[in-house]
Chains A and B, each alone.
Chain A
Amino acid sequence: MIVAERKPFEEIAEASAGFRRVLVAGCGTCVAVCLTGGEKEAGILAAQLDIAAQLNQREQAFEVGCVERQCDREFLDELAPQIEQADAVLSLACGAGIQFLAEKFPEVPVLAGVNTTFIGINDDVGVWQEKCRSCRDCVLTLTGGICPMSLCPKGMLNGPCGGSDDGKCETDPERDCAWALISARLERTGRLGGLEAIVPARDCRNALPGKQVHPAYERRYSAHE
């Protein structure tokens, strides 16, 4: 899932101060699961903004809306009636959702209410951990299901750096060294031998903006159609 954290309240209040009617738009999927931008959080934020506006004697009205996914065309359309009545939309979706909302509603100013943090997992109640950098060149088969691109700050592909100390990373004594985890995991599963070959440099052309078309739909979206 995509994980996000709410921006500091002061930043949100300042960004929205110049608009009379603001739609606080939640998203019911990833950001709802990480307790950041779902319908409930949108409601709370709208109430807080309303109080702040009154305290600062600003004439503002905050309405709440929420759709299942702001990154999906058919769900996003549901916001249209509310957006028509708004001077600005404060989106609590991830960066993808905020951008898609901005693209679909080009006339209305869009404000970001969250910082998208990472693709990760729900480790425990209220705890999320980064697991994937979506690098488009997955090495998890080789590295025992533990990602060195995401979990090693240096993204080392050929083994640990010299800063690995007692299973911990040089950047933080609390942070596990990804290669210590990889080593232990591959040893347990008898697959350490797979690491002997040098992993070549990554092809960073995959840093260009991505677009993906499912093979079954290639004809539909090809230039000839």
Chain B
Amino acid sequence: MSKLAQALDGGKFVLTVELDPPRGSDLKPLTELTSSLGGKADALVISDNRGAVARMSPVLACHHLIKHASAEVIMTLACRDRNRLALASEMLAAAAGGVENLLVVSGDFTTLGDQPGAQPVFDLDSVQTLQLAASLEEAAFFLGAVLAPDSTLMGMQALKLRKKVQAGAAFFITKPISNGEGLGALLAQAGGEAPRVLAGLELGPEEDPAWAVELARELKAQGQAAGVHLSCPENQARLPELAGQLAL
């Protein structure tokens, strides 16, 4: 069982932090950032061509961080760039490299990125990719998926949540939220057993994190979330300092 799964099972209010693999081939800055995060985060979410911008493969980045920084990682895998053969191939490579937590996402559409003319794959959607991951006997991942609590399509997002749970998702990370209302409503509408949800808190490059700290405390106090997921995509160097404030 992964350390993340153990922490969630143990009732700890978990903090995850999102990091991008490099746009080049030098892993040193990412490794140093991971080291300076120290033990503040329970797990690092390593993104997969976030924003449809090509970066180093998260498989290698995760493997490196496990080996050289003893990091607990959650590897993101996007449906956008790979057909089912390539998805399975990456899952097996990740497992061989020690990755135990997998976050399955659809992926931002190709036209939003730096190669807008690229072929969008989407051979499988996120639900089908979770099924694929759950079916691999060689790799027993702790599977995660994404929730969109502030969507105006609440009924559809609740449906998707139920399907993701059925497909094998054991934890969820939400898209960035600014309050707990949408999340509460989504979970109520989805019904069934409340899933383990990490609330996404995204900060701007210079933004004061006070609201995020307050929201995290609120979510913890009210038992609305099992933890928070911190991102600061435009200024990741801030993450160690921000994680220090958000580790409750």
Contact = CB atoms under 8 A, between A and B. Distances in A.
A163 B176 CA distance: 12
A202 B123 CA distance: 8
A166 B151 CA distance: 7
A192 interface: yes
Given A160-B160, A171-B109, A179 B125 contact: no
B155 A158 contact: no
B132 to A, nearest CB: 8
Contact of A183 (B109, B120, B131, B153): B153
Given A154-B106, A198-B127, A201-B124, A167 B163 contact: no
Contacts of A154: 79-80, 106, 109, 120, 122, 125
Contacts of B84: 201
A165 B156 CA distance: 12
A171 B111 contact: yes
A157 interface: yes
A189 B153 CA distance: 17
Contacts of B79: 154
Given A196-B162, A198-B163, A198-B166, A160 B156 contact: yes
Interface string B11-34: 000000000000000000000000
Contacts of A155: 122, 125
A31 B166 CA distance: 47
A162 interface: yes
Contacts of A166: 152
Interface residues of A, number: 31
Secondary structure at the A interface, as helix, strand, loop or mixed, is: loop
Interface in A153-207: 153-167, 170-171, 177, 179-180, 183, 187, 192, 195-196, 198-202, 204
Nearest to A182: B156
A201 to B, nearest CB: 5
The contact size tier of chain B is 35 or more
Contacts of B120: 153-154
A154 B129 CA distance: 14
Given A153-B120, A159-B160, A201-B128, A183 B111 contact: no
B175 interface: yes
Contact of A156 (B122, B132, B166, B175): B122
Interface string B127-167: 11001100000000000001110011101110110110011
B217 to A, nearest CB: 26
B151 A165 contact: yes
B108 interface: yes
Contact of B106 (A156, A192, A198, A204): A156
A137 B7 CA distance: 44
A167 B152 contact: yes
A196 B152 contact: no
Contact of B148 (A158, A162, A171, A187): A162
28 contacts: A154-B80, A154-B120, A159-B160, A160-B156, A161-B106, A161-B125, A162-B151, A162-B175, A165-B151, A170-B108, A170-B109, A170-B112, A171-B112, A179-B153, A179-B156, A183-B153, A183-B155, A187-B155, A195-B159, A196-B159, A196-B163, A198-B127, A198-B131, A198-B163, A200-B128, A201-B84, A201-B124, A204-B123
Task: Enumerate the 7 nearest inter-chain pairs by beta-carbon distance, A residue then B residue, closest first.
Answer: A162-B148, A159-B160, A158-B127, A161-B106, A154-B122, A201-B128, A171-B109
Interface of A: 153-167, 170-171, 177, 179-180, 183, 187, 192, 195-196, 198-202, 204
Given A153-B120, A163-B108, A183-B155, 12 more contacts: A154-B120, A156-B122, A158-B125, A159-B163, A160-B153, A162-B106, A170-B112, A179-B156, A180-B152, A187-B155, A199-B127, A202-B123
